[in-house]
Structure 1
Amino acid sequence: MAFFLETLFGGLMVGMLYSLVALGFVLIFKASGVFNFAQGAMVLFAALAMARFAEWIPMWTGIESRWFANVAAFAVAGLVMFAVAWLIERLVLRHLVNQEGATLLMATLGIAYFLDGAGQTLFGSSIYKIDIGMPKDPIFLLDKVFEGGILINKEDLYAAAIAAALVALLSLFFQKTGTGRALRAVADDHQAAQSIGIPLTRIWVIVWCVAGVVALVAGMIWGSKLGVQFSLTTVALRALPVVILGGLTSVPGAIIGGLIIGVGEKLSEVYLGPYVGGGIEIWFAYVLALVFLLFRPQGLFGEKIIDRV
């Protein structure tokens, strides 16, 4: 039982990180109808900016404090992601409103490749380190309940807590603020929202900026765990099955879907891996997403679209 709970907790913590990345996909799709394949590249670009500014700021200021360097690097990288999001919306997507889905798909793929190349040009192509002070030593929980306790990695616990806090803040933002209500109105009906005076272009810029911040936090966490390298793009795209499972238009679906995928990956690797071979953790989420595409393509919480003829 202790081993099962240990695996379960590990899956929940990884799943929360998947949920964080999936939120970027869902927010942009809800507000603009664009499935942003560049979200993975945004995570990588943000992580590179965070890592490099954390190196450069102490040299520029002469202040050697790691805490100051991380806070300043996060702030500067956040401004960079705001600028990137604004430029993407202003220079690309604003001119593609009401275009075919394939056109928007190719646009976001082009943005992804551009960000990959721009990241290497501006920040370099080596493997960089983000050290935000998260402890990496394990702890034992419930040692009075189970013999030996449950082994939990402190870094995973802190990362899951940061991701959960950001998800909670975003949920409050969408539910309690005027801008959040405007975002939800735009998501429900673009034309109706515009008819009551909600400026679509401003809303789209806000959504892309929020997605940029989400990418920055996700890149900071994954970069701290794995190092900042170009495989982060593929790690971020592991959130695609989460979006399919939870639904393209559902913020709660992104959260629940991420937790289901995270737990499913860990449990399947431990309990099914010995029977079907290693590596099940890599493809489990995509097989589950394929099943949902066949039998419930709108996902668990997505809206079922009915075309009337």
Structure 2
Amino acid sequence: MGFFLETLLGGLMTGMLYALVALGFVLIFKASGVFNFAQGAMVLFAALAMARFSEWIPRWLGMEQGVISVLLSIVVSIVIMIGVAYAVERLALRHLVNQEPITLLMATLGIAYLLDGLGPMIFGSAVYSINVGMPKEPVFILEGLFDGGVLVSKEDLYSAIIAAVLVAALTLFFQKTKTGRALRAVADDHQAAQSIGIPLGRMWVIVWSVAGVVALVVGIIWGSKLGVQFSLSLVALKALPVVILGGLTSLPGAIIGGLIIGVGEKLSEVYLGPMIGGGIETWFAYGLALCVLLVRPQGLFGEKIIDRV
């Protein structure tokens, strides 16, 4: 039972990280109605900025690396991601208002390749590390209930808590604030939103900025675990099944989808892997998402689209 709980908790914590990555896709889709293929590139770009400024700022200011330098690096990285959002709106999205969704989709592909090239060109292409002070040693819990206790990674636990807080904050932002409601109106119909005075350009800057901050948090967490390297942009691919499972329009769906896939991956690898062979963790999420698509194309919590003729 202790080993099962250990596997279950590991899956839940990994699932929260998947949900955090998926939020970037959901945020952009809710505001523009288009799938953002640039989210993975944004994660890499933000992680590179954070890693390099955490090295440069102490050197520029003549101080040791510590809490202050980390906070300054985070602030500078947030400003950079807001600048990226502003540039995306001014140079691309502003010229594509009221265009077909496929046009916006291709624009996000172009933005992805541009960021993939700019990041290493500006910040370097080596493998960098990010250290924000999260403890990496494991800890044993519930030792009184189970022999030997349950092994939990402190880093994974802290990461899951950060992800949960950010998810809750974004959910409240979209549901309870005036800006959040305006963003949902923009996603439903660009022309109608403009006709009632909603500034489309400003809304897109806001949502891309929020998605950039989410990408920064994802980049810090995954960069701390895996190192900042080009393959970090591929982490976003792990969120695709989460988005399909939960629904492209649902923030709670991203959370629940992430938890389902995180737990499913861990349990299937541990209990089914020995019977059917290794590697099940790499394709389990995609197989589950495909099964959901066959039954409910809009995802478990996505809005059902009804076309009237």
Relative to the length of structure 2, the TM-score reads 0.97
Letter in 1 for 2:252: P
1:92-241 correspondence runs (5 A): 92-241=92-241
> 2:28 — aligned with what?
28
Further displaced range: 257-266 or 94-103:
94-103
| Residues 264-303 of structure 1: CA deviation (Å, up to 9, x unaligned) | 1111111111112111111111111111222211000101
Letter in 2 for 1:305: I
> 2:276 — aligned with what?
276
Letter in 2 for 1:142: L
> 1:289 — aligned with what?
289
CA contact (8 A) 2:143 2:149 kept: yes
> 2:55 — aligned with what?
55
Q: Which 5+ residue runs of structure 1 have no aligned equivalent? A: none
> 2:265 — aligned with what?
265
Note the C-alpha offset of 1:43.
0.3
Q: Percent identity?
A: 76
| Residues 78-107 of structure 1: CA deviation (Å, up to 9, x unaligned) | 000001111112211221233333322222
Note the C-alpha offset of 1:179.
1.6
Q: Which 5+ residue runs of structure 2 have no aligned equivalent? A: none
> 1:251 — aligned with what?
251
Kindly report the root-mean-square deviation, in angstroms, between the aligned alpha carbons of the 2 structures: 1.3
> 2:68 — aligned with what?
68
Further displaced range: 167-176 or 109-118:
167-176
Are 1:82 and 2:85 an aligned pair?
no
| Residues 204-246 of structure 1: CA deviation (Å, up to 9, x unaligned) | 1100100000000000000001110111111122101110000
| Residues 33-52 of structure 1: CA deviation (Å, up to 9, x unaligned) | 12100100000000000000
Task: Give the distance between the partners of 2:166 and 2:229, measured in 1 at CA.
Answer: 24
Letter in 2 for 1:286: Y
Question: Displaced runs of 4+ in structure 1, greater than 6 A?
Answer: none
Residue 105 to residue 182, structure 1, CA distance change in 2 (3 Å):
closer
Note the C-alpha offset of 1:171.
1.8
Task: Give the distance between the partners of 1:222 and 1:65, measured in 2 at CA.
Answer: 20
> 1:302 — aligned with what?
302
| Residues 191-213 of structure 1: CA deviation (Å, up to 9, x unaligned) | 44333322122111100100000
Letter in 1 for 2:26: V
Letter in 1 for 2:28: I
Q: Secondary structure at the match of 2:230?
A: coil
Task: Give the distance between the partners of 1:66 and 1:119, measured in 2 at CA.
Answer: 25
Task: Give the distance between the partners of 1:289 and 1:172, measured in 2 at CA.
Answer: 27
Further displaced range: 114-123 or 181-190:
181-190
Task: Give the distance between the partners of 2:57 and 2:122, measured in 1 at CA.
Answer: 15
Task: Give the distance between the partners of 2:20 and 2:272, measured in 1 at CA.
Answer: 27
Note the C-alpha offset of 1:154.
0.5
Task: Give the distance between the partners of 1:93 and 1:265, measured in 2 at CA.
Answer: 37
Letter in 1 for 2:14: V
Task: Give the distance between the partners of 1:253 and 1:60, measured in 2 at CA.
Answer: 44
Task: Give the distance between the partners of 1:65 and 1:121, measured in 2 at CA.
Answer: 25
Note the C-alpha offset of 1:136.
0.8
Q: Secondary structure at the match of 1:185?
A: helix
Task: Give the distance between the partners of 1:186 and 1:95, measured in 2 at CA.
Answer: 16
Task: Give the distance between the partners of 1:212 and 1:149, measured in 2 at CA.
Answer: 39
Task: Give the distance between the partners of 2:36 and 2:11, measured in 1 at CA.
Answer: 26
Q: Secondary structure at the match of 2:139?
A: strand
Note the C-alpha offset of 1:189.
4.1
Relative to the length of structure 1, the TM-score reads 0.97
Q: Figure out how many residues of one structure are paired with residues of the other and give that number.
A: 309
Task: Give the distance between the partners of 2:105 and 2:174, measured in 1 at CA.
Answer: 26
Are 1:91 and 2:91 an aligned pair?
yes
Residue 186 to residue 103, structure 1, CA distance change in 2 (3 Å):
closer
CA contact (8 A) 2:97 2:190 kept: no
Note the C-alpha offset of 1:261.
0.9
Task: Give the distance between the partners of 1:73 and 1:93, measured in 2 at CA.
Answer: 28
